[in-house]
A and B are shown apart, each in its own frame.
Chain A
Amino acid sequence: MKKIYVLLAGLFLFVQALFSQQKNVPRLTGIVTNEHEELLAGATVFWKDTKVGTVTDTAGRFSLPAREVEATLAVQYTGHSPAEIRVLPTENNLWIEISGIAQLQEVTVTEHGFDNKVSTLETRNIESISSKELRKAPCCNLSESFETNGAVDVAYANALTGVKEIQMLGLRGVYSQFMVENRPSLGGIATPFAFEYLPGTWLDGIQLAKGASTVKNGNAGIAGQINAELVKPHLDKPLFVNAFTSTEGRGELNVHLNNKGKGRVSNGVLLHGSFVENRWDMNDDNFYDSPSRQQLNGLYRLFYESPKMCAQFNVQALTDRRQGGQINPIEGVPGLFAIDQNNDRVEVWGKIGYEGVGGKPYNQVGNMVSTSWHRTNSLFGPNIYAAEQRSFYWQSLYQTIIGTTDHKIVAAPSFQYDDIQESVNEGKLDRREAVPGAMLEYTYSRPNLKMEIPDLVVVVGARADWNSRFDQLLFAPRVSAKYNFTADAVARLSAGRGFRSPHLMAENISLLASNRSLVFSPPVGGAGSNPGLEEAWNYGLNFTQNFKIARRTSSFSIDLYRTDFIQQVLVDVDQSPTEVFFYTVDGKSFSNSLLTTFQYNPFPGFDVKLAYKWNDVRATYADGVLRTLPLVAKHRGLVTLDYTTPDKNWMFNTRVQIIGPQRLPDNSQVPHEYIHDFPETSPTFAVWNAQVTRRFGKKFELYLGGENLNGYQQHEAIIAADKPDSPYFNGSQIWAPLMGQVAYLGLRFAPAGL
Chain B
Amino acid sequence: MKYGFLFILFFLLNAGAGQAQTTDSASNSMTTKFKVYGNCGMCENRIETAARLEGVTLADWDVDTKILTVTFDPAKVKPGQVHKAVAAVGHDTDKERADDAVYAKLHGCCQYERRQ
Contacts and interface: CB of A to CB of B under 8 A. Distances in A.
Interface of A: 4-5, 8, 12, 15-16, 19, 22-23, 27, 29-31, 35, 37, 61, 63, 85-86, 91-97, 99, 106, 108, 110, 234-235, 237-238, 258-262, 305, 698-699, 750, 752-754
B101 interface: no
Contacts of A110: 62, 64-65
Nearest to B27: A93
Interface of B: 2-3, 6, 9-10, 13-14, 17, 21-22, 24-25, 28-35, 39-42, 44-45, 62-67, 69, 71, 74, 78-80, 94-95, 107-111, 113
B109 A8 contact: no
Contact of A94 (B14, B30, B40): B30
A505 B65 CA distance: 48
22 contacts: A4-B3, A5-B2, A8-B6, A15-B14, A16-B13, A19-B13, A30-B25, A37-B80, A91-B71, A93-B28, A96-B32, A97-B34, A108-B35, A108-B66, A237-B41, A258-B109, A260-B108, A261-B108, A305-B113, A698-B41, A699-B41, A752-B41
Contacts of B6: 8, 12
Contacts of B40: 237-238, 752-753
A275 B35 CA distance: 45
Contacts of A86: 33, 65, 67
Given A15-B10, A63-B21, A93 B42 contact: no
B69 to A, nearest CB: 8
Nearest to B62: A110
A15 B108 contact: no
B37 to A, nearest CB: 11
Given A12-B10, A19-B13, A754 B21 contact: no
A698 B41 CA distance: 8
Contacts of A23: 17
B31 A95 contact: yes
A29 B13 CA distance: 20
A262 B111 contact: yes
Interface centre among A16, A234, A238, A698 (most CB of B within 10 A): A238
Contact of A92 (B28, B74, B113): B28
Given A29-B25, A260-B39, A753-B40, A95 B30 contact: yes
Given A262-B111, A752-B40, A15 B67 contact: no
A753 B31 contact: no
What 4 pairs across the A-B complex have the smallest Cβ distances? A753-B41, A95-B32, A752-B42, A260-B109
Contacts of A305: 113
Contacts of A27: 21
A29 B80 CA distance: 20
B25 A260 contact: no
Contacts, number: 103
Contacts of B32: 94-97
Contact of A95 (B3, B74, B95): B74
A260 B111 contact: yes
* Binding site secondary structure of chain A: mixed
B31 A259 contact: no
Contact of A108 (B67, B79, B80): B67
A238 B95 CA distance: 28
A99 B79 contact: no
Given A15-B10, A15-B13, A753 B42 contact: yes
Contact of A93 (B29, B41, B64, B79): B29
A5 B5 CA distance: 12
Contacts of B41: 237, 698-699, 750, 752-754
A73 B72 CA distance: 20
Contacts of A37: 78-80
A91 B31 contact: yes
Interface centre among A260, A261, A305, A750 (most CB of B within 10 A): A260
Contacts of B13: 15-16, 19
B30 A93 contact: yes
Given A29-B21, A91-B71, A97-B95, 10 more contacts: A8-B3, A94-B32, A97-B79, A99-B94, A108-B66, A235-B39, A261-B108, A698-B45, A752-B40, A753-B40
Contacts of B65: 86, 108, 110
B35 A106 contact: yes
A261 B111 CA distance: 8
Contacts of A262: 108, 111
B86 to A, nearest CB: 14
A91 B72 CA distance: 12
Contacts of A19: 13, 17
Contacts of A30: 25, 30
Given A91-B31, A93-B28, A753 B44 contact: yes
B101 to A, nearest CB: 14
Interface centre among A4, A97, A234, A259 (most CB of B within 10 A): A97
B79 A95 contact: yes
Contacts of A99: 94-95
Nearest to A237: B40
Contacts of B111: 260, 262
A93 B25 CA distance: 7
Contacts of A754: 41
A96 B70 CA distance: 11
Nearest to B20: A23
Contact of B108 (A31, A61, A238): A238
A238 B106 CA distance: 14
A29 B79 CA distance: 17
A739 to B, nearest CB: 36
A94 B31 contact: yes
A466 to B, nearest CB: 43
B3 to A, nearest CB: 7
B78 to A, nearest CB: 6
Contacts of A261: 108
Contacts of A35: 95
Contacts of B24: 29
Contacts of A235: 39
Contacts of A95: 30-32, 74, 79
Given A8-B3, A99-B94, A237-B40, A753 B45 contact: yes
Contacts of A260: 39, 108-111
A51 B10 CA distance: 28
A237 B32 CA distance: 28
A61 B30 contact: no
A29 B22 CA distance: 9
A481 to B, nearest CB: 31
Contacts of B33: 85-86
Contacts of A258: 109
B52 to A, nearest CB: 16
Contacts of B71: 91
